[in-house]
Amino acid sequence: MNSSAALTAFQALLQPQQMLCAPVDMQPYLIDWRKRFFGKALTVLLPSNTAELAQIVRICAEFQVALVPQGGNTGLCGGATPDQSGQQVVVSLKRMNQIRAIDLINQTMTVEAGCILQTIQAAAAEHNLLFPLSLGAEGSCCIGGNLATNAGGTNVLRYGNARDLCLGLEVVTARGEVWNGLRGLRKDNTGYDLRDLFIGSEGTLGIISAAVLKLYPMPLCQWTSLVATPSITATIELLNLFKQKATSLLTGFEMMTAESLNLIEKQFPQMANPLGENPPITVLVELSDHESEAHARNLIEEILAEALDLGIASNAIIASSIAQANTFWQMREHITLAQAQEGANLKHDITIPLSALDEFIATTDALLRKRFPKVRIINFGHLGDGNLHYNVAAPAGSDSTIFNQANEKIVHDLIYEMVERFGGSISAEHGIGQLKINNLRAHKGAVAHDLMQAIKTALDPQNILNPNKVLSIKSA
């Protein structure tokens, strides 16, 4: 590694404002959103186009300097934070934020990696089109980060995750070459799917510089409802009722337990549950309709009436305005923030097959409460996809730092053992980063893990792209 030669080469390539070296300037790029991971860096670089990005990677390859790609830095697994060595370079894609083209006939948009998700949604909406990826951090996360983590969010039930919304990529490889795969094709069976290899690889195989995204017709209207249900079993029955009756109009189905909403009431009292005292489960249901307001309204009323008759719902409110619908969504989106305000907690972003979900929750809740009486289980998430944010917080009034330090491994091991037993995944949508790197081999199995390592070594033989994220590989 020759860091001083690399620094000299970066200086020759970039404008001073594109190369941050002062600790105070670098600081925001060195801490993750949860303030759990802290790193140091040789420098933070902000390329403004693909050619500059490729040149940066070529310099890193020549001088064997590792680099950490970063988008909005909202990731929840520490994937965008450099290590403690002070020898890694953070490459922020923020300045590469152009919308290159919107193709109204093909219904696609070509964007640079640093485009903020919300900007993309708004640009599509100007043409009465929808870019459906939607998540709590959409005001600051970037599409490159969304694709690198294969982000999920609240619309996966209808439109799929980031992978399903991307048709093509432009990627800078570990050698600093540019792979131009920016084709807006819905069918393309020409050998190995490189696009899918880079999506979800968390910056370890290449740096995404641009993408072609799928757009959809903007729904005419949306109806949002909050529904109280007596149990997880009833909630899953409610989901299946909506799937059967509303079919593709069902675009959101989010679950919040009473314990999750108790936190909202405590941290954000203005967002208290309009259903009154928190029922065991509160579900946020959203229907999106292309026919008419009346059609959607009648449908949601009809399904809710049936759910109440069947006893799988005990109460329901339909939002009477867009503003009220927004308050329902805010309540859901603020659970993550309420947890952050309450103190550190032990997070688990898991998926369980819907057929095993009620048994998984009953078994795991019981084991946790037996081991840690009064522990708080903040369980909420995108239930329509079987994705739970199954988070564990110290008993109310006790010190969360002490609780977490003493019990983190026990809690993770217990939950991940149950995830395996019930056929689930230890990372539904947030990725592996550095947070779950030690759990990956046991979860994927030796064969899959060895194949992943072989791919990494083939694409990045010097191990300069985001080393020690996802996989631990010894640098050459």
Ligand X SMILES: Cc1cc2nc3c(=O)[nH]c(=O)nc-3n(C[C@H](O)[C@H](O)[C@H](O)COP(=O)(O)OP(=O)(O)OC[C@H]3O[C@@H](n4cnc5c(N)ncnc54)[C@H](O)[C@@H]3O)c2cc1C
Query: Which residues sit at the interface with ligand X, rule CB under 6 A?
Result: 33, 68-76, 79-80, 93, 113, 135-137, 141-142, 144-146, 148-149, 151-153, 202-203, 207-208, 336, 429-430, 433, 466, 469
Shortest separation between residue 327's beta carbon and ligand X, angstroms = 17
Shortest separation between residue 347's beta carbon and ligand X, angstroms = 11
- With beta carbons less than 8 A apart as the criterion, state whether 130 and 124 touch: yes
- For the chain, the C-alpha Rg in angstroms (whole number) is 23
In the structure encoding, which two tokens stand for residue 33, read together?
Answer: 């959103």
Shortest separation between residue 299's beta carbon and ligand X, angstroms = 26
Containing 223, the helix (H) or strand (E) segment is: strand 221-229
Q: Which is nearer to ligand X, 137 or 296 (CB)?
A: 137
Q: Which is nearer to ligand X, 294 or 458 (CB)?
A: 458
Q: Which is nearer to ligand X, 155 or 235 (CB)?
A: 155
Q: Which is nearer to ligand X, 153 or 424 (CB)?
A: 153
Q: Which is nearer to ligand X, 14 or 137 (CB)?
A: 137
Q: How many helices (H) and strands (E) does the chain have?
A: 15, 18
Round to whole Å and give the CA distance between 460 and 437.
18
Shortest separation between residue 242's beta carbon and ligand X, angstroms = 20
Containing 442, the helix (H) or strand (E) segment is: helix 440-444
Q: Cα torsion for 131, 136, 140, 145, to the nearest 10°?
A: -70
Residue pointed to by tokens 């579900």? 283
Shortest separation between residue 381's beta carbon and ligand X, angstroms = 8
Q: In what order do the strands lie in the sheet with 19-20?
A: 19-20, 43-45, 89-92, 67-70
- With beta carbons less than 8 A apart as the criterion, state whether 166 and 211 touch: yes
Tell me the one-letter amino acid at 228. Answer: A
In the structure encoding, which two tokens stand for residue 120, read together?
Answer: 């993309």
Q: Which is nearer to ligand X, 135 or 318 (CB)?
A: 135
Q: Which is nearer to ligand X, 300 or 436 (CB)?
A: 436
Shortest separation between residue 207's beta carbon and ligand X, angstroms = 4
Beta strands (DSSP E) in 311-449 are: 315-318, 349-351, 376-382, 387-393
Shortest separation between residue 305's beta carbon and ligand X, angstroms = 30
Round to whole Å and give the CA distance between 352 and 335.
21
Q: Which is nearer to ligand X, 207 or 388 (CB)?
A: 207
- Name the residue with the smallest CB distance to ligand X: 145
Shortest separation between residue 282's beta carbon and ligand X, angstroms = 17
Q: Which is nearer to ligand X, 39 or 219 (CB)?
A: 39
Round to whole Å and give the CA distance between 253 and 241.
12
Q: Contacts from 100-109 at CB under 8 Å and sequence distance 24+?
A: 100/210, 102/127, 102/215, 103/184, 104/129, 106/184, 107/214, 107/215, 107/216, 108/167, 108/184, 108/212, 108/213, 108/214, 108/215, 109/212, 109/213, 109/215
Shortest separation between residue 152's beta carbon and ligand X, angstroms = 4
- Sort strands 89-92 and 43-45 into parallel, antiparallel or unpaired: parallel
- With beta carbons less than 8 A apart as the criterion, state whether 148 and 69 touch: yes
Shortest separation between residue 214's beta carbon and ligand X, angstroms = 17
Q: Which is nearer to ligand X, 80 or 300 (CB)?
A: 80
